């Protein structure tokens, strides 16, 4: 009946704690958003880690009925070819203008990075995958919300088609405007995370991200990037430099 | 309660002032609640419209609008486009107005302060229940809940100048109701309606939506909980000033040490 204590002395315990802390720190530099020593970013990372630790994975966001579809705002970039919009990129804007005038038939979504078969997909290619239609709520950080129906291919399907490598941890999206962003693999593989080409039964309108936007239903609206051009799968966290949300003072994780 | 140290016996002395855990929790909650109020107000300024239900935006009717900041009824929209053929179709419109939006820091600061408040509130409520502090000092007795006693306490508060009081319990009837309401009703309501607005948390725990309403209902309740807390803070600080600021502040910061 005499149980042997697993941890024999206080010193062992403290040494153990210290080495666990060391492991945690080593992990932090690669798999978490950087804080830049900013206390607000530390809070964001705490919230992100708490969500990942405490919330059950793969919970589905509520889906609504067709009659609940509501009016919805188009904000942020609403035309990537418009030089007056804040995130305008001249090169990409011109390309977008050309692709739009051709009805996006020449548009291709490039899948790169940590995948076995990098390549690009046309709108027709994406539509050949099994589609998912979901009527969900778009919640904006500003405070408003709207319900719309989105049709597209689960991001997971495309990542698996491209042969995502087992070491991959993050998925970064590069749109036609200068506002790239990324999500972690848990959200990327979420069944409701889709590359949407349809909205409310129509082609995705330009103001809402034509030809393809991502829908991340477990995070706020600003993570559902519009006007996708390139998807890069990565092993390590990338703050995406001066164009990324983080260096512009926004939380990278927006599940709250 | 008149303050007269000569009349307090040794047994009463133990019960004057605030215990250490109450003092620590009080100040952490005070600072984080003020931070939440300020950052929450900045967040509200980005979209000063409140709604009921799951949906609410500039293209749908509001319960009410608050004239705070330049986003109030800004009206900067391109003509709206209907999605469907019917007359009441949902529409989309492009915003042409550059709104005031300080949510980058305001939201992160709000959630950082919320972490401090939530953790401290949990410690405070559990300690309050386990030590009997809540039952003894905060929960109004059933026999106290009489209109006549409320009236008497209210009249007592309006008679100037106010009697200086001991820093700490026992509390009067209105005082108990205010503290009980803030600790056990307004704060938990603010916390849970705040969590309900999170897309990740609402997906994980749909029961939050059932209890506290959909996103916009929760946001509106969250706003009223904030309003109640701000009124409480104003009255609370006013009462502290009117009943002897120095002694009250000292009692809540260092405890009572002058007996």
Please report the pLDDT score of residue A169 as a whole number: 97
Contacts with A71 from chain B: Cβ below 8 Å: 57, 59-60, 80, 90-93
Beta bridge partners of B56: A145
pLDDT given at position B1: 41
- Its sign, for the CA torsion B133, B139, B142, B145, is positive
Is A56 in the B-facing interface, judged by CB distances under 8 Å? yes
B111 min Cα distance to partner chain A (Å): 7
Interface test with A, best of B64, B92, B100 (most A CBs within 10 A): B92
Q: Which of B57, B84, B205 sits opposite A144 (nearest CB)?
A: B57
How far are the Cα atoms of A75, A254, B115, B126 from residue B32, in angstroms, in the given order? Answer: 32, 21, 9, 19
Q: In whole angstroms, what is the distance from residue A97 CA to residue A86 CA?
A: 17
Contact A146/B197, CB-based, under 8 Å?
Answer: no
Angle CA B127–B131–B136, to nearest 5: 115
Task: For residue B123, give every residue at least 6 positions away whose Cβ sits within 8 Å of its Cβ, in sequence order, or none.
Answer: B21, B25
List CB contacts of B133: < 8 A, sequence separation 6 or more: B19, B22, B127
What pLDDT score was predicted for residue A58?
82
Is B216 in Cβ contact with A142 (below 8 Å)? no
Q: In the structure, how many helices (H) and strands (E) does chain A have?
A: 6, 11
What ipTM is given for this predicted complex?
0.90
DSSP codes joined into one string, chain B: ----GGG--HHHHTTSS--HHHHHHHHHHHHHHHHHHHHHHHHHHHS-EE-SSS-B-TTS--SEE---STTTT---BPPPEESSSSTT--EEEEB-S-----HHHHHHHHHHHHHHHHHHHHHHHHHHHHHSHIIIIISPPGGG--HHHHHHHHHHHHSSSPPP--SSSSP-HHHHHHHHHIIIIIHHHHHHHHHHT-HHHHHH-THHHHHH-SHHHHHHHHHHHHHHHHHHHHHHHHHHHHTTHHHHHHHHHT-----
Compute the CA torsion angle B10, B12, B18, B21 (nearest 10 deg): 80
Evaluate if residue B247 carries a pLDDT over 50. yes
Running DSSP on this structure, what letter comes out for residue A8?
Answer: -
pLDDT band, very low/low/confident/very high, at B156 (cuts 50, 70, 90): confident
pLDDT range class, residue B258, cuts 50, 70, 90: low
Tell me the chain B residues in contact with residue A190 when contact means C-beta distances shorter than 8 Å.
none
Q: Output the average pLDDT for chain B.
A: 90
Contact (CB<8Å) B111/A47: yes
A141 contacts chain B (CB < 8 A): yes
To which H or E segment does residue A22 belong?
helix A10-31
pTM of structure: 0.90
First and final C-alpha spacing in chain B: 17
How many angstroms away from the CA of A199 is the closest CA of chain B?
Answer: 9
**Looking at chain B, which residue has its C-alpha nearest residue A55?**
B204
Contacts of B39 in chain A (CB under 8 A): none
Asked whether the predicted pLDDT for residue B259 surpasses 50, the reply is: no
- Kindly report, residue by residue over B190-201, the tens digit of the pLDDT: 999 999 999 999
Taking chain A (256 residues) in runs of 10, the rounded mean pLDDT of each run is: 50 52 50 95 97 93 97 97 97 98 98 98 98 98 98 98 98 98 97 98 97 98 98 97 96 97
Interface test with chain A among B39, B47, B55, B78, by most A beta carbons within 10 Å: B55
Question: HEC profile for B102-147?
Answer: CHHHHHHHHHHHHHHHHHHHHHHHHHHHHHCHHHHHHCCCHHHCCH
pLDDT in tens, B235-245: 999 999 998 89
- Is A69–B43 a contact, with Cβ atoms under 8 angstroms apart? no
Percent of chain B with pLDDT over 70: 93
**Does the pLDDT of residue B233 top 90, yes or no?**
yes
Q: pLDDT at position B3, please?
A: 43
pLDDT at site B76: 92
């Amino acid at each position: 009946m005499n149980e042997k204590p697993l941890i024999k002395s206080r010193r062992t315990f403290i040494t153990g704690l210290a080495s666990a802390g060391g492991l945690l720190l080593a992990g932090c530099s690669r798999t978490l958003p950087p804080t830049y020593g900013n206390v607000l970013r530390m809070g964001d990372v705490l919230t992100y880690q708490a969500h990942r630790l405490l919330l059950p994975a793969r919970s589905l966001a509520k889906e609504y009925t067709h009659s609940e579809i509501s009016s919805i705002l188009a904000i942020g970039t609403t035309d990537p070819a418009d030089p007056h919009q804040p995130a305008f990129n001249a090169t990409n804007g011109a390309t977008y203008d050309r692709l739009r005038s051709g009805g996006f038939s020449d548009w291709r979504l490039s899948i790169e990075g940590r995948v076995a078969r990098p390549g690009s997909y046309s709108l027709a290619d994406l539509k050949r995958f099994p589609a998912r239609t979901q009527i969900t709520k778009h919640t904006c950080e500003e405070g408003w919300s709207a319900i719309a129906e989105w049709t597209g291919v689960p991001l997971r399907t495309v990542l698996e088609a491209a042969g995502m490598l087992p070491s991959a941890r993050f998925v970064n999206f590069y749109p036609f405007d200068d506002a790239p962003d990324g999500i972690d693999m848990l959200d990327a593989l979420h069944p409701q995370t889709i590359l949407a080409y349809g909205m409310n039964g129509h082609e995705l309108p330009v103001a809402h991200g034509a030809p393809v936007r991502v829908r991340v239903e477990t995070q706020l609206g600003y993570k559902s990037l519009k006007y996708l051009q390139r998807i890069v799968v990565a092993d390590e966290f990338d703050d995406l430099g001066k164009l990324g949300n983080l260096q512009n003072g926004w939380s990278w994780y927006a599940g709250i | 309660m008149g303050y007269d140290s000569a009349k307090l016996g040794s047994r009463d002395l133990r019960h004057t002032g605030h215990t250490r855990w109450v003092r620590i929790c009080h100040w952490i909650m005070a600072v984080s609640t003020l931070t939440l109020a300020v950052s929450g107000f900045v967040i509200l300024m980005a979209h000063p419209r409140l709604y009921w239900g799951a949906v609410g935006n500039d293209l749908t009717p509001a319960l009410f609008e608050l004239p705070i900041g330049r986003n109030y009824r800004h009206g900067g929209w391109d003509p709206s486009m209907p999605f469907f053929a019917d007359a009441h179709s949902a529409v989309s419109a492009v915003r042409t107005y550059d709104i005031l939006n300080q949510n980058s820091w305001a939201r992160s600061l709000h959630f950082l302060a919320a972490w401090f408040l939530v953790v401290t509130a949990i410690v405070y409520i559990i300690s309050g229940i386990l030590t009997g502090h809540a039952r003894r000092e905060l929960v109004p007795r059933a026999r106290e809940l009489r209109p006549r006693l409320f009236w008497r306490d209210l009249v007592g508060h309006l008679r100037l100048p106010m009697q200086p009081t001991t820093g700490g319990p026992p509390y009067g009837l209105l005082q108990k109701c205010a503290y009980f309401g803030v600790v056990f009703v307004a704060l938990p309501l603010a916390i849970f309606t705040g969590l309900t607005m999170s897309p990740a948390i609402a997906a994980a725990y749909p029961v939050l939506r059932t209890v506290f309403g959909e996103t916009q209902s929760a946001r509106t309740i969250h706003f009223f909980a904030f309003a109640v807390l701000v009124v409480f803070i104003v009255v609370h600080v006013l009462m502290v000033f009117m009943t002897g600021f120095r002694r009250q502040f000292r009692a809540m910061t260092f405890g009572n040490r002058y007996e």
